[in-house]
């Protein structure tokens, strides 16, 4: 199974930049989208269906044009779970899960800490999410959590590891991501590429992408029971519909 994840920074804008052609060529079995910034009523859903994804699920934020996640799939899942059931997490449309026979896949969009209030919201969200995932894995052990975590984990994951005091690379955020991994999740890209330095997000400022001054914020986290199934994990940094690029993980025998 080939699973992609992409923070599109507005699905309508990405479509205008050629997203559908890329999706058809990349041909994942499932793609998790983040920051869709739209309700499904605002989209021509036939575009996704004609690209080979008749099953598409949308979980938008209550606030128009903000946040939101989606999952497109070639095959119909057994179950779709919208949100977590925790109101303070769900009103911004940040979690969507599809369950198949052998694996469950979640699209996650973790908040960014753009100011003090949002940083506190991010920390609260992270604490609740870690607890939620730990409980979920008791009944859904074969889990892939793809998405924009808005955190660089290690110095290798950021172009300037000496950066201090900036959300996304705060010690508390990085420690939380370590705790998340240590709870039984595998960073599939780092698992297969322990020393490769690649990024998945670049600021629009100061020509950051052309100079490759990036951050690795997007992860395909795979639960430990699926460790032996991980055959490939890549960052597709040549794809340019967004300030992020897509990532992809492939699981064998799923």
CATH number of the domain that residue 107 is part of: 3.60.10.10
- In the three-class reduction of DSSP (H, G, I as helix; E, B as strand; rest coil), residue 79 is classed as strand
Element (H, E) at 90: helix 87-90
- Mean pLDDT throughout 230-244? 98
What per-residue confidence (pLDDT) applies to 250?
Answer: 98
The per-residue pLDDT for range 26-80, each reduced to its tens digit, is 999 999 999 999 999 999 999 999 999 999 999 999 999 999 999 999 999 999 9
- Mean pLDDT throughout 230-237? 98
Catalytic residue ranges:
148
Q: Which residues contact 35 (CB under 8 A, 6 or more apart)?
A: 7, 8, 9, 10, 67, 68, 109, 148
What per-residue confidence (pLDDT) applies to 244?
Answer: 98
What per-residue confidence (pLDDT) applies to 51?
Answer: 98
Query: Looking at the 3D structure of the chain, how many domains does it have?
Result: 1
- Mean pLDDT throughout 137-144? 98
- Mean pLDDT throughout 226-234? 98
Query: Domain residues for 233?
Result: 2-251
Q: What is the pTM of this model?
A: 0.98
């Amino acid at each position: 199974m080939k699973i992609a994840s992409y923070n599109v920074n507005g699905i309508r804008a990405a479509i205008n930049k050629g997203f559908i052609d890329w999706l058809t060529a990349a041909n994942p079995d499932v793609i998790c989208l983040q920051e869709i910034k739209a309700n499904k009523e605002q989209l021509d859903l036939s575009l996704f269906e004609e690209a080979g994804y008749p099953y598409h699920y949308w979980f938008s934020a209550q606030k128009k044009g903000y946040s939101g996640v989606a999952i497109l799939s070639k095959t119909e899942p057994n179950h779709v779970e919208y949100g977590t059931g925790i109101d303070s997490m769900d009103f911004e449309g940040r979690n969507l899960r599809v369950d198949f026979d052998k694996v469950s896949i979640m699209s996650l969009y973790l908040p960014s800490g753009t100011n003090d209030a949002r940083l506190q919201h991010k920390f609260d969200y992270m604490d609740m999410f870690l607890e939620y995932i730990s409980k979920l894995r008791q009944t859904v052990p074969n889990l892939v959590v793809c998405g924009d975590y808005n955190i660089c984990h290690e110095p290798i994951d950021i172009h300037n590891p000496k950066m201090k005091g900036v959300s996304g690379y705060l010690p508390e955020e990085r420690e939380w991501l370590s705790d998340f991994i240590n709870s039984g999740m595998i960073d599939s890209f780092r698992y297969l590429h322990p020393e490769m330095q690649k990024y998945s997000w670049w600021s629009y400022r100061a020509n950051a992408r052309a100079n490759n001054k990036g951050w690795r914020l997007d992860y395909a986290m795979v639960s430990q029971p699926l460790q032996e199934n991980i055959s490939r994990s890549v960052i597709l940094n040549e794809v340019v519909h967004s300030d992020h690029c897509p990532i992809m993980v492939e699981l064998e025998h799923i």
